[in-house]
Amino acid sequence: MKTCVLRRNILCVLIFVGVLAVPSWADDANTGGNPAGRYVVDCAGRKVTLPETIKRIACLYAFAGHAVTMMGRGDDIVAVAKGLKRDSLLLEICPSILNARVPKSQGGINMEELLKAKPDLVFVSADVGQNTGETSKLEAFHIPYLIVDYASITEQQNAVAMIGQALDATGKADAYIRYYNDTIQKVHSRVSLIREDRKLRIYHSVNEANRTTIPRSLSTDWLNVLGVINVACKKKESIIDGHNGVVMEQILIWNPDVILVNEPSVKKQILLDRRWAPLEAVKTKKVFLLPIAISRWGHPGSLETPLAIGWAAKMLYPETFRDIDLAHETRNFYKTFFNYDLSDTEVNQILDGKRERIPKKRG
């Protein structure tokens, strides 16, 4: 018992240190409940007192739903953001999510629908956490909520640790973080030996062909682990809007060695559109589609980022990472962290980027 208490105290300290650099809108106030009760510090630096028992969980941010399921609490999810119901593999792992209420789609929180779900705890994204109009709804009904936010590998790991602490599942959170860091160490130790003149120049297309990574983002951070040259972060003046749209002329000037994409249709567009034909990556057919499973691997909201790092290392430097068996790593990840056995067909679909999300319903 003393060991468990000590471990919990150590984790509390680590999480507190991890969130010292918080946004200016962070709130240090205790949010409801008994001040002497169990609490966590969320990703915005808020000290939040938790209910004694957490049996019903609302995940109004898809990443939180993935993490809660990984913690073994997927069946306790009673309310979700609409997008979570489009994650086909997640629904196979935890079919009960299909029955969860949807109090948040594209707009604000529908409190009437949320109250019907009777959540003991709500996880929200930073955009909701920054919106006092939305948070005041939760506070008016004394519903404890935790803000989940990150823009780097370290911050993402802190978010997972925070969710694990809130759900009394620190062992599972710790195991995931160890796997994540082991992958980083394994990859970085090898790519750090690659000569500067042999480093690949990468353009990462995010969702759309002419949209790329922003300098401070999870996508940029995991690309840095690979020791590649992220062309978009070398020429910040080329970014033409707040969402990192890039003009075609600039991409032609960059002339990347490799293009990474996270949408199947975008890969097809880049390979067939004549405007992209002069690029070295297109000439050599080095346009790689990131795998798709619960999420698009390596996407800003992806829990599967450690898999993206291993996959990209293998694709970019196959000789250096000959010992990585992507099929084995994929199968092992979902078995270890989600207790789900992938079939050979599912593994191939994931690695080929053919495991697409359920299409949005129109109307």
Is 205 found in the same domain as 71? no
Range with lowest mean pLDDT among 32-41, 52-61, 315-324: 32-41
Rounded CA-CA distance 355/357 in Å is: 7
Task: Provide the percentage of residues in the chain whose pLDDT is more than 70.
Answer: 84
Is 15 found in the same domain as 132? yes
- Residue 203 domain-assigned? yes
- Out of 105, 135, 168, a domain closes at 168
Q: What pLDDT is stored for residue 55 in this prediction?
A: 97
- Residue 283 domain-assigned? yes
Q: What pLDDT is stored for residue 356 in this prediction?
A: 67
Q: Which two tokens stand for residue 134?
A: 């939305």
Range with lowest mean pLDDT among 1-10, 60-69, 308-317: 1-10
Is 22 found in the same domain as 140? yes
Q: What pLDDT is stored for residue 302 in this prediction?
A: 93
Is 107 found in the same domain as 35? yes
Task: Provide the percentage of residues in the chain whose pLDDT is more than 90.
Answer: 74
Is 132 found in the same domain as 24? yes
* Number of domains observed in the structure of the chain: 2
Residue 12 has pLDDT above 50, yes or no: no
Is 229 found in the same domain as 145? no
| CB 119, CB 58: distance < 8 Å | yes
User: What single-letter DSSP state applies at residue 239?
Assistant: B
Q: What pLDDT is stored for residue 14 in this prediction?
A: 38
| Average confidence (pLDDT) over 220-244 | 77
Residue 335 has pLDDT above 80, yes or no: yes
The CATH number that applies at residue 247 is: 3.40.50.1980
| Average confidence (pLDDT) over 57-81 | 97
- Residue 190 domain-assigned? yes
The count of other CB atoms within 10 Å of the CB of residue 182 is: 11
**Structural domain range at position 37:** 2-168
Is 138 found in the same domain as 52? yes
The count of other CB atoms within 10 Å of the CB of residue 27 is: 17
Radius of gyration of the chain (CA): 21
- Residue 268 domain-assigned? yes
- How far are the Cα atoms of 90, 117, 161, 212, 351 from residue 66, in angstroms, in the given order? 8, 19, 13, 24, 19
pLDDT digits (tens, 9 = 90+) for 101-123: 999 767 789 999 999 999 999 99
Report which listed range, 56-60, 196-200, 233-237, is most confident.
Answer: 56-60
Residue 307 has pLDDT above 70, yes or no: yes
- Out of 168, 193, 210, a domain closes at 168
Q: What pLDDT is stored for residue 360 in this prediction?
A: 58
pLDDT digits (tens, 9 = 90+) for 25-55: 334 334 444 444 689 999 999 999 999 999 9
Is 157 found in the same domain as 199? no
Rounded CA-CA distance 245/130 in Å is: 25
Rounded CA-CA distance 116/112 in Å is: 6
Is 164 found in the same domain as 102? yes
Report which listed range, 30-34, 196-200, 267-271, is most confident.
Answer: 267-271
Q: Which two tokens stand for residue 205?
A: 């297309």
| Average confidence (pLDDT) over 272-294 | 96
pLDDT band of residue 233 (cuts 50, 70, 90) is confident
pLDDT band of residue 218 (cuts 50, 70, 90) is very high
pLDDT digits (tens, 9 = 90+) for 147-182: 999 999 999 999 999 999 999 999 999 999 999 999
Is 185 found in the same domain as 140? no
Is 187 found in the same domain as 133? no
**Element (H or E) spanning 41, and its range?**
strand 39-41
